[in-house]
Amino acid sequence: MVDPLHSDASLHNIICGGRTLNLSRPQVMGVLNVTPDSFSDGGQLHKEGQLNLDKVLLRTERMLAEGAAIIDVGGESTRPGASPVTIQQEIDRVLPVVEAIAKRFDVVISVDTSSPDLMLEAAAAGAGLLNDIRALQRPGAFKAAAATGLPVCLMHMQGEPGTMQESPVYHDVVAEVTEYLLHRVEQCVHAGIARRNLLLDPGFGFGKTVEHNLALLNRLPKLVEKGYPVLVGLSRKSLIGKVLGREVNERLAASLALATVAANHGAKIIRAHDVAETVDAVRICDMVMRESE
């Protein structure tokens, strides 16, 4: 059943702390990995093994100039085989970045975390959105997310990052992912999180084969029609490498193609590494779609 607050998701504005995110048209979320081992750009913001805040702020400034509406800060690599981090390590990586960005820029800051402690501290530091690949499964996450009052993006993942790509199996990937996300929505509402503050992410590449990913993208309107804003992250994903044989630094064209398809199918937030190019692709797609209405 579609919630009346989401009966027209295309006109839905989300209050992200002290800022409003307008989703009347697709927006681009710029990726800001502050981990030393991210699959795509790990270590680029570090100098001599330490996170360099000057580099962080320059990257943020550039992404904003390129048209990013959201900056997504992540301190835990979720690529297959990535080394686990402690909660304190994650906080030490992410919190100074959130504080620095919040002081200098007028932008919605998303925190890519599953840690309840970081959710609370990041919200107090100026974050406006919680982006959780584990859909608030960690103990205390529901309570922490509700306490912040911030919007939450719930993502589907089969398994855990270290092993999720070993042998993912579904009977009907679209139906199962949708059912899981809607179940998490109801649990969030029961925990005191408003429906209007919930976004959904099908979790491309998180416990899915190439065929699963393609099916999810092809039938993305099935998830969109549930009425919640949908976030899609396909930028530079291994899907592209497996289909086209491209290395990470050769995946721009395919990433843009996937972003365009996602926007055409109703995704409202496109998470991307290459912000300027993705903004152009999404904007032109949106213009074409509006002309056809």
Give the separation between CA 202 and CA 29, rounded to whole angstroms: 16
Tokens of 5: 């607050």
3-class state of residue 198 by DSSP: strand
Tokens of 34: 């502050």
DSSP letter (8 states) at residue 3: -
Across the chain, the runs of DSSP E, i.e. the strands, are 13-16, 19-22, 27-33, 46-47, 50-51, 70-74, 108-112, 129-132, 152-155, 198-201, 231-233, 269-272
The DSSP element (H or E) to which 56 belongs, if any, is: helix 53-65
Catalytic residue status for 271: yes
CB atoms within 10 A of CB 232: 29
Q: What distances in angstroms separate CA 88 from CA 84, 121, 180, 212, 220, one per listed residue? A: 12, 12, 30, 35, 36
Give the separation between CA 107 and CA 264, rounded to whole angstroms: 25
Catalytic residue among 59, 134, 236, 237, which?
A: 237
Q: Is the CB of residue 178 less than 8 Å from the CB of residue 200?
A: no
Give the separation between CA 94 and CA 77, rounded to whole angstroms: 12
List the catalytic residues: 237, 271
